[in-house]
Structure 1
Amino acid sequence: MNDTPRTLPLVLEQPRGRAKPPRHLADLAPEERKEAAEKLGLPAFRLKQVANHYFARLERDPEAMSDLPAAIRAELAEGMLPTLLTPVRVMEADKGTTRKTLWRLFDNALVESVLMRYSDRATLCVSSQAGCGMACPFCATGQGGLQRNMSTGEIVDQVVDGARAMRDGLVAGGPGRLSNIVFMGMGEPMANYKAVIGAVRRMVTPAPDGLGMSARNITVSTVGLVPRIKQLATEGIPVTLAVSLHAPDDELRDTLVPINTRYKVDEVVDAAWEYARTTKRRVSIEYAMMRDINDQAWRADLLADVLQKRGDWSWVHVNLIPLNEIPDSQFTRSRDEDMDEFVRRLERRGISTTIRDTRGDEIDAACGQLAASEV
């Protein structure tokens, strides 16, 4: 049984506005930083120093950057390291190995990130939008609609915070290293493509110009924006693609994932297969298990048919997700025996399948639940 959740309140209101997020060092590619330094009237090597502190040392406070002249630290803070994320609430579960943070952005929008420590890795689930415009009826984020896209800097700053939390031993188990990133927080990553790809590039660029993470440990999720899946395959960054399918037939998927009325199941799976063929990376099919809605054994057979149309099914892995229920929703979690049968049906067809380990149920760990409770 999970331990009682621990809440650490820290609330700071900020005025709501229409302006874009302030420019941050993480918004800039390495080749763009020289021009930014010139605009600040500083030599380029100063921004190299700042980049080393931010990306390599995970330091966000210019006052702690002792190799910078004290006279320019305030200017650098305003010009290159503005505060992007302000913690509103931090909640812990699973004996301290799951840590969920609710963030307030500069314009008062709320987003969430979840840090999860396992025996062999530490994974951070990041948000890419404030809210979501995909309107999936079983998703807490989708109920609130889309407020705005997040900037590259806002996305990367979640990762820097997670890496610091691991380094500083704020997650149960002692100091460690953040190893994996999943874009499965609030928002549809492919609908904020430019900022998401910018953030991925900062993550994989070697320090001190980036965080030096492995692209193979980064997962970008989508409900099926086909043109963006195809574009991602051309980027030369071998991230894992996760497709939130949730149904193998158009009739049901039209109701569960409204974008399916534009990009049908076969078109989405075709694009995913092409991604796997181009990048040589296995695609993850995400499938939220909903009682008596999409968890029937015959739908497992149909899902196998859909995936095996593309030939050798080693290109794909199915990740079944016990639904994280939201209050007053018609959608509930599948019975254990139905999930087990679903797995048996897929594995009988030779399709690699797992049931995702559930984390943080008692701290509203489904994306959007904590933000919705704060509004």
Structure 2
Amino acid sequence: MTKLDIKSYNLEQLKNELSQMGEKPFRAGQIYKWLHIDRVSSFDEMTNLSKDLRHKLDEKYEIITLKPEKVLISKIDGTRKYLFGIKGGAVIESVLMRYHHGNSVCISTQSGCRMGCRFCASTLNGLDRNLTTSELLEQIYQIEKNIDERVSNIVLMGSGEPLDNFENVTNFIRMITDENGANISQRNITLSTCGLIPKIKELADMNFQITLAISLHASDDETRKKLLPIANKYTIEEVLDACRYYFNKTGRRITFEYSLVAGVNDTIEEADKLGRLVSDLNCHVNLIPVNPIKEREYRQSAKQAVLQFKSRVEKYKINATIRREMGRDINGACGQLRNEAMSQRKEDLE
């Protein structure tokens, strides 16, 4: 019999599970604490439960834990990149970034990705599978264990499209912000999407207080189609309408991510178009000098071009920042480390 993944149950779901087993509801709270505060790896460690209950739990459920297969530490800025093995033999990656305001972790939401964004290494080999809620949580738990420090900020911007794994990702948000667990503030969570319109609206209706980050990367549909295949399904105007809906529902300022690619979308004219496009929105523009990857031809914009682009966007009274490059010496682009590991495993099997 395949065991159920107990760490993926939120507290209410766990209460229902225990009720069906004939156990009292308070047992769910005890088990939840063992899993998400004490973070045990076996039922035998749950010492305030009877041996009989521990045995019943062990027969029906498993406790998913991830183990780092590789940890790379940047000599430039101390950024850490983690490679975790998951069920099925695939690997995923997470990144720890240290800032003055605390530790920020960028997690993967899928093994691979099917969105096909042209400058992203995560999508080169397509989608393997969605990550479970427990696998999302474990990326945070294991990194906290590794550094023996608390994570204060979470970015769902690693490999995968978060809204393509909607149920597990939203359950993760509920659980990682639960006061009975890690209790990280929703306001310290950013979810990045390439723009799945129906899911953006569904997320807005849940009224989470997280930051929504939109991978815009262009200010007209034709340019955007060259960079993001999803632009063939949803127009920029549809994306902006969804952003207005999200803001009206949540009151949370929108972030627009704009990867600057030399000769493609980094001119003054493009900056003017972007400024005019989003000037009526309560938003922030995050400019990202694109991380070069060997499988693509895109080049990073020159530093002067990035600064000029930022200055021009700010003339439209829009807050704009340039993302600080971190981990450049440890395969900084999303998906690079994972792709290398998967390629090596394939070679080893041949």
TM-score, normalization by structure 1: 0.85
Spell out the pairing of 1:250-269 with structure 2 (5 A cutoff).
250-269=221-240
> Conserved in 2, the CA contact under 8 Å of 1:62 and 1:76?
yes
Where do residues 14-93 of structure 1 align in structure 2 (5 Å cutoff)? 23-37=4-18, 43-69=24-50, 73=54, 76=57, 79-93=60-74
* Deviations 1:79-138 (CA, angstroms, capped at 9, x unpaired): 444234232211111467322111111111221111111111111111111110100111
Shift of 1:206: 1.1
Shift of the 202–320 alpha-carbon distance from structure 1 to 2, 3 Å rule, reads same
The counterpart of 1:371, out of the listed 325, 331, 338, is 338
Match of 1:181 among 145, 154, 160: 154
SS at match of 2:329: helix
The question of whether the paired residues in 1 share the 8 Å contact of 2:219 and 2:270 is answered with yes
Q: In the TM superposition, what is the alpha-carbon distance from 1:165 to its structure 2 partner?
A: 3.3
1:228 aligns with 2:228: no
Q: Which residue of 2 aligns with 1:102?
A: 83
Distance in 2 of aligned mates of 1:364 and 1:74: 44
Deviation digits for residues 19-48 of structure 1 (CA, Å, limit 9, x no counterpart): 99x632332122221332356675544432
Provide the residue aligned with 1:351 in structure 2: 318
Within the candidate set 253, 262, 266, 1:291 is matched to: 262
Partner of 1:325: 292
CA distance in 2, matches of 1:188, 1:353: 24
Aligned position for 2:246: 275
1:155 aligns to 2:126 (yes or no): no
Instruction: Quote the Cα distance in structure 1 between the aligned partners of 2:38 and 2:284.
Output: 36
2:309 corresponding residue in structure 1:
342
Supply the distance in 1 between the matched residues of 2:284 and 2:223 (Cα, whole angstroms).
21
Q: 2: distance between equivalents of 1:54 and 1:26?
A: 7
Render the CA deviation track for 1:30-73: whole Å, top value 9, x for unaligned.
Answer: 22213323566755444322211222234444444443456655
TM-score, L = length of structure 2: 0.91
Letter of the 2:250 counterpart: T
In structure 2, how many angstroms separate the alpha carbons of the residues matched to 1:287 and 1:293?
Answer: 12
Which of 125, 130, 136 is the equivalent residue of 2:106?
A: 125
How far apart are residue 273 of structure 1 and its match? Answer: 2.3
Deviates more, 1:102-111 or 1:43-52: 43-52
Following the alignment from structure 1 to structure 2, what is the Cα–Cα distance between the partners of residues 93 and 74? Answer: 44
Extract unaligned runs of 5+ from structure 1: 1-18, 169-175
Q: Secondary structure at the match of 2:245?
A: helix
Superposed CA RMSD in Å reads: 2.2
Q: Percent identity?
A: 37
The equivalent position to 2:163 in structure 1, one of 185, 190, 206, is: 190
Q: 2-side partners of 1:23 and 1:113: how far apart?
A: 25
Report the secondary structure of 2:4's partner residue: coil
Corresponding residue for 1:171?
none
Q: Which amino acid aligns with 1:186?
A: S
Rounded Cα–Cα distance in structure 1 between residues aligned with 2:24 and 2:72: 42
Alpha-carbon distance between aligned partners in 1 of 2:200 and 2:277, rounded to the nearest angstrom: 18
